[in-house]
Every structure is written in structure tokens, then in C-alpha cells.
């Protein structure tokens, strides 16, 4: 399970981001490793335009764990 605060952080106000982040939170986060959970938390700290560039624009963060999570969310 995950804290409700984390679910709230996934609500970004941009429908596409909301759907990707919440889907990952519900489906992949509960069984993720500590490294993956940390990387997901770091992604949530980014601005909406930067997240959009990573998730929908194909850009990479340069951080292996974050890039793996982004790839999972895109697929």
C-alpha cells in the first residue's frame, strides 16, 4: 500500500500525467524495489513540463532508475 499523500502528489492537473502516474502508483509501486520507489518520488518532485517531456516527449533523465520507471509508464 502507499500513503494517500503520495496519491495526491500524482494528481498533477494534466489528465495525461495524472493517468500515467496514478496507473504506475496503483499497479507497479506496491511491489517496486526501494530504489524504484525513491526514483518515483524524485520524479514527482519535477515540474509538470519536465515530467511531460520525459513521459510523452521521449526525453531521458540520465538517471537509470528514473528512466526505467518512465519506460514502464510509457508502455
Average pLDDT over every residue of 2-30: 93
Average pLDDT over every residue of 19-37: 96
Model confidence, pTM: 0.91
pLDDT at residue 1 greater than cutoff 80: no
Long-range CB pairs of 18-24 (<8 Å, 24+ gap) are 20/55, 20/73, 20/74, 21/73, 23/73, 24/69, 24/72, 24/73
Contact between 73 and 20 (Cβ < 8 Å): yes
Q: Binning pLDDT at 50, 70 and 90, where does residue 75 land?
A: confident
CATH of domain 4-74: 1.10.150.250
Per-residue pLDDT tens over the stretch 43-55: 999 999 999 999 9
Instruction: Tell me what the pLDDT averaged over the chain comes to.
Output: 93
Amino acid at each position: 500500500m502507499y500513503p494517500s499523500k503520495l496519491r495526491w502528489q500524482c494528481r498533477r492537473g494534466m489528465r495525461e500525467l495524472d493517468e500515467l502516474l496514478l496507473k504506475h502508483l496503483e499497479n507497479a509501486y506496491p511491489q517496486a524495489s526501494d530504489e524504484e520507489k525513491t526514483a518515483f518520488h524524485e520524479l514527482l518532485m519535477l515540474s509538470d513540463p519536465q515530467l511531460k517531456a520525459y513521459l510523452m516527449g521521449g526525453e531521458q533523465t540520465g538517471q537509470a532508475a528514473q528512466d526505467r520507471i518512465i519506460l514502464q509508464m510509457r508502455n
